């Protein structure tokens, strides 16, 4: 331990400790870290902060910061902090952001705990009338997640065009809520919140703070030499959609595609080869058995069936994996491949969930209308056409390869 370096008592999975580590890394403050063991808390930590919860930051002059938000402030307001780093703190001081943080640390956390650990709070005094687990979940959604989604519809971060301390203050708690039942979280009609959460989950900053340290030992934090002033979305895999749609928006009928267009299948292969592809279980079912998993690509299939992968008999994790939600599928792609793009290849349910997260859509627009029961996602006004190639198939059917971006 270096006596001139702050010492952070931390616990990797604690959301309060995550926000403190994120702020220290954003600010580029060097620190030592002690990853505690909950059942064997270090005596030195208890001497410094008898309340016994992390994070605790012990400064070289002996001063102790016992609240995560005080650590965030201390880190971002260092005397030598750049204007960018100081803005992380100042942009968190607006009335809206202060109210969001208070809601997160107060009522949202109250309901989150009772949704996550219903058995711990079962006989709680004062909890009258007792709320069910489902009611706690619903209150958490209404109190914080819905207002957050509304805020994030107006700007990508709570700091506006750039993140601020409120983003990193709330993110670990929203992530915890989402992880309780990822499929239900994905199904919430909160697209801006989904996009924001996915951005932080996939950020290098989050990857850096989740670095594993040996337990019950003091280590110099390995990333302390690398200030991280933004999540750097350019290093995350980009999420692209690829689909063929009829002129009336149909993409499928009775579990298959209502047209035969080999030129489109060749285009699909050319475009996605080498990159991970993500699909819903019904789209997997629609692929001819001899072509699946699609070769030369990691196939990630989203299903709520826990035993789905085992039921396929495939065991090569570089070819096929399953995920219980879109977010988990994207995490698998990021962890398994080094590719910069993930192609979401349907069907209608998965396109609808992925559209808010996507930055490009490669669409085969077929001139003709077809009967169907599965439809293309709606691309809103923020999408713009950037390329269009017109073709006529050997069968005489007209179609165009069109690229949209935002």
Ligand X SMILES: NC(=O)c1ccc[n+]([C@@H]2O[C@H](COP(=O)([O-])OP(=O)(O)OC[C@H]3O[C@@H](n4cnc5c(N)ncnc54)[C@H](OP(=O)(O)O)[C@@H]3O)[C@@H](O)[C@H]2O)c1
Residues at the site binding ligand X, with contacts judged by CB under 6 A = 183, 186-187, 243-244, 251-252, 255-257, 279-283, 286, 302-305, 308, 324-325, 345-350, 353, 374
Least CB distance to ligand X at residue 250 (A): 8
Q: Count Cβ atoms within 10 A of the Cβ of residue 359 and give its class: 0-12 exposed, 13-18 middle, 19 or more buried.
A: middle
Nearer to ligand X, 124 or 371 (CB): 371
* Alpha carbon distance 63, 268 (integer Å): 60
Query: Which strands form 299-302's sheet, in the order they lie side by side?
Result: 320-323, 299-302, 277-280, 341-344, 238-245, 360-366, 398-405, 384-392
Least CB distance to ligand X at residue 50 (A): 44
Least CB distance to ligand X at residue 401 (A): 12
Nearer to ligand X, 199 or 372 (CB): 372
Nearer to ligand X, 17 or 323 (CB): 323
Least CB distance to ligand X at residue 284 (A): 7
Strand, helix or coil for residue 268: helix
Least CB distance to ligand X at residue 98 (A): 33
Least CB distance to ligand X at residue 270 (A): 15
**What is the largest distance, in Å, between two alpha-carbon atoms of the chain?**
81
Residue 335 structure tokens: 């962890």
Could you tell me which residues come within 8 angstroms of residue 227 by beta carbon, excluding any fewer than 6 positions away? Answer: 25, 26, 27, 28, 85
Nearer to ligand X, 70 or 253 (CB): 253
Strand, helix or coil for residue 363: strand
DSSP 406: -
Nearer to ligand X, 12 or 253 (CB): 253
Nearer to ligand X, 84 or 254 (CB): 254
């Amino acid at each position: 331990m270096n006596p001139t370096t702050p010492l952070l008592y931390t616990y990797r999975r604690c959301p309060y400790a995550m926000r403190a580590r994120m702020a220290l890394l954003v600010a580029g403050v060097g620190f030592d870290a002690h990853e505690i063991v909950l059942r064997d808390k270090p005596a030195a930590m208890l001497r410094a902060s008898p309340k016994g919860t992390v994070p605790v930051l012990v400064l070289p002059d002996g001063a102790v910061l016992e609240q995560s938000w005080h650590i965030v402030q201390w880190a971002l307001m260092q005397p030598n902090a750049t204007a960018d780093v100081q803005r992380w703190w100042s942009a968190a001081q607006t009335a809206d952001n202060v109210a969001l943080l208070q809601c997160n640390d107060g009522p949202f956390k109250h309901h989150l705990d009772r949704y996550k650990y219903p058995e711990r709070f079962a006989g709680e005094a004062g909890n009258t009338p007792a709320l069910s687990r489902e009611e706690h979940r619903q209150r958490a959604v209404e109190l914080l997640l819905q207002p957050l989604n509304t805020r994030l519809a107006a700007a990508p971060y709570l700091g506006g065009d750039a993140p601020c301390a409120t983003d990193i203050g709330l993110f670990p708690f929203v992530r915890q809520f989402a992880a309780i039942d990822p499929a239900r979280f994905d199904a919430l009609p909160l697209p801006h919140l989904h996009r924001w959460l996915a951005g932080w989950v996939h950020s290098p900053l989050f990857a850096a703070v989740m670095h594993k340290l040996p337990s019950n030992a003091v280590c110099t934090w390995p990333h302390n030499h690398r200030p991280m002033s933004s999540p750097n979305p350019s290093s995350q895999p980009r999420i692209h959609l690829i689909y063929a749609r009829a002129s009336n928006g149909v993409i499928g009928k009775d579990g298959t595609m209502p047209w035969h267009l080999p030129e489109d299948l060749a285009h699909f292969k050319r475009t996605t080869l080498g990159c991970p592809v993500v699909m819903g279980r019904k789209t997997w079912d629609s692929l001819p058995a001899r072509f699946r998993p699609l070769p030369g690509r990691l196939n990630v299939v989203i299903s709520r069936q826990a035993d789905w992968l085992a039921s396929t008999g495939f065991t090569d994790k570089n070819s096929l994996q399953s995920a219980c939600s879109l977010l988990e599928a994207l995490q698998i792609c990021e962890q398994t491949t080094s590719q910069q793009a993930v192609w979401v290849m349907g069907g209608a349910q998965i396109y609808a969930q992925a559209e808010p997260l996507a930055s490009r859509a490669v669409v085969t627009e077929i001139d003709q209308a077809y009967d169907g029961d599965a439809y293309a996602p709606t691309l809103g006004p923020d999408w713009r056409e950037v390329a269009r190639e017109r073709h006529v198939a050997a069968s005489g059917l007209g179609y165009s390869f069109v690229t949209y971006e935002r």
